[in-house]
Amino acid sequence: MTSPRVEVNLGKIQANARYLVRRLGARRISVTGVTKAVCGHPDVAEAMLDGGVASLADARIKNVVRMRTAGITCPISLIRAPLLSEMEDVIQYCDASYNTEMDTILKLGAAAKEQGASHDVILMVEMGDMREGILQENLNDFAAQVIATPGVALKGIAANFACLGDVAPTGGDMAMLSRLADQVEGACGPFVDLVSGGGSANLPWALGDVSTGRVDNLRLGEAILLGTDPVTGHPITGLHTDAFTLFAEVIETSRKPSPAPTMSIAPELGMLNLVRSDDLRARTILAVGQQDTDASGLMFSPGTAFIGATGDHTVVDSAKAAVPVGSEMKMGMNYSALMRAMSAPDVAKVVHGKQKMNGSAKDREAHPFLTLV
């Protein structure tokens, strides 16, 4: 089989989505499945939908177009602010977008009017992540401007956590977001239909026993895809953590000193000598590198340790056991490694379990790097 490749277990993705939808539904929180880490892969999107997510979201319009072309008709939001050069496509393919700039919203309104459509706007509020967001003291005035803009409708407000700042949200943060929704309604009139509290980092709060307030939506990518908490990297109880596996072929294996030879000065001779270790260990080189994935985010089976990587090679210490050339090694991936691997054109994507889904997946042409088994 082609190597390197990512093998995808759709059943485990569906099961993760179903578990989270059920748990959060009991707290009156809907789930938006985020597909950006898999480049809008239609089969992964369908697995999320079969698991019960209410809608999908992606950061890139080309990924949204890919899903729409595959026949996915559910509501899809653009969670990165729209580019001014993509306005027509945003209106055509997205039901809503997350925004922080009034100039962008004005352009969205003009493009929507030109297409005879209306586009929902969700305002991203700065809550401490220090990436994108409207300052809280400016939110009411900003919302009033959106309401006055033809072609768009104010859908709701949202916040980001643990993206740039890598800090998990607190109950106080969520209470503040609820108060901000109340303030916007009090100042501007229309009901704020959506209060999206953030992403997978919100799960410890959302699945706790405190009041959820006005927060009625979470945007989940990493938790559904990898079953892990983005802040700690730890597995989330009840979720599968092995829905994605990276395979790479061994191109060299040999016993080499550990650590590698170093240089030292022999004072009595005034010259450099090589210092070598007699502890020879099996060093294995894999045909996958930084062009294909974030090698530092790979996870190996017990007894194998990551040493380093270059553009096309990943070197691991396989202890005393030499791995045969031509064999394959399988690896888990963190979110960064998954995102890079799924976007790399030289990494094949092999999907398992499509025939076991609930039947909502539609027949479609195979992607050039996609195998269905």
DSSP codes joined into one string, 153-218: EEEEEEE--SSSS-----HHHHHHHHHHHHHHHHHH-S---EEE--SGGGHHHHTSSS--TT--EE
Asked whether residue 159 falls in the same domain as residue 285, the answer is no
pLDDT of 338 higher than 60: yes
Number of domains in the chain: 2
Lowest mean pLDDT among 151-155, 216-220, 278-282: 278-282
Last residue of a domain, one of 226, 254, 280: 226
- Of 205, 292, 160, the residue nearest 23 (C-alpha): 205
Residue 366 lies in a domain: no
Asked whether residue 213 falls in the same domain as residue 340, the answer is no
Task: Give the pTM.
Answer: 0.89
pLDDT at position 239 is 98
Compare 96 and 362 and report the one with higher pLDDT: 96
Asked whether residue 67 falls in the same domain as residue 109, the answer is yes
How does residue 260 score in pLDDT terms, banded at 50, 70 and 90?
A: low
pLDDT at position 257 is 76
pLDDT at position 250 is 97
Mean pLDDT of 84-92: 98
pLDDT of 356 higher than 80: no
pLDDT of 275 higher than 50: no
Query: 27 is in which domain, residue-wise?
Result: 9-226
**Over the stretch 201-214, which tens digit does the pLDDT of each residue have?**
999 999 999 999 99
How does residue 14 score in pLDDT terms, banded at 50, 70 and 90?
A: very high
Asked whether residue 53 falls in the same domain as residue 91, the answer is yes
Asked whether residue 179 falls in the same domain as residue 294, the answer is no
- CA atoms within 13 Å, Cβ hemisphere of 97: 34
Asked whether residue 119 falls in the same domain as residue 186, the answer is yes
pLDDT of 259 higher than 80: no
Measured in degrees and rounded to the nearest 5, phi and psi for residue 159 equal -145, 155
pLDDT of 365 higher than 60: no
How does residue 7 score in pLDDT terms, banded at 50, 70 and 90?
A: very high
